[in-house]
A = this chain, B = another copy of it.
Amino acid sequence: MQRFSKKVSMTVVKRLPKYYQYLSDLLENDIEKISSRELASLMGLTASQIRQDLNSFGGYGQQGYGYNVGELREAIKEILGLDSEYNCMIIGAGNMGHAIANYERFKREGVILKGVFDVDPLRVGTVVGSVVVKHMDEIEKFIKNNEIDICILCVPREVGQKVATLITDLGVKGILNFSPLDLDVPGDVVVENVNITDSLFTLTYLLGE
């Protein structure tokens, strides 16, 4: 289900969530219209860049006026696929799994936590976020019954690939990967990595510049 005809570069895609955030904030503050120049100064981009970005999708602006904040926010929300709901699960009920399970923002944007899994008998049966932790043995049945779209991987590096293979074999098409390794997945599966170690090392690099 491709939403737009022109293909959009990854560089632009990575900026879309930021646009969504800033526009949501503006709306929160009852700001109705904004020009590319104003938004640029707010976000630390250039006005040109913003107009180019927004035009990869369509003409959301109006000459002589600027952009209507509410309309543009709705458009980007839809572009990001946030007009649909997503069933999600977390694998790994350690500290990171806990942290994500309690992120209110996910639910607010339509990403519904359906289950949390772990192999540790001490964790199975405990409550994390809004759900009871299940054992990995139950995962096959669970994924089928709950039509899981997104799996959030919070397992140790050593088992990351094994678990990724398991869930993609069971039909999961989206992975938000907190395990610090690059996953090898089938071509129709999308992975977004959150690699905290990489971020830390980028920071230590920048500290020495």
Contacts and interface: CB of A to CB of B under 8 A. Distances in A.
Interface string A25-37: 0000000000000
Interface stretch (A66-74, A79-87, A131-139): A79-87
Contacts of A111: 200, 204
A125 interface: no
Contact of A102 (B84, B95, B182): B95
Contacts of A173: 207
Contacts of A206: 13, 174, 190, 192
B194 A194 contact: yes
Nearest to A209: B2
A82 B204 contact: yes
A84 B80 CA distance: 41
A14 interface: yes
The bracket for how many chain A residues form the interface is: 35 or more
Contacts of A192: 199-200, 202-203, 206
Contacts of A6: none
Contacts of A180: 21, 105
A149 interface: yes
A163 interface: no
A199 B105 CA distance: 13
A188 to B, nearest CB: 10
B81 A198 contact: no
Contacts of A100: 196
A139 to B, nearest CB: 20
User: Shortest 5 CB-CB distances between A and B: which pairs?
Assistant: A95-B99, A17-B201, A17-B198, A81-B208, A190-B206
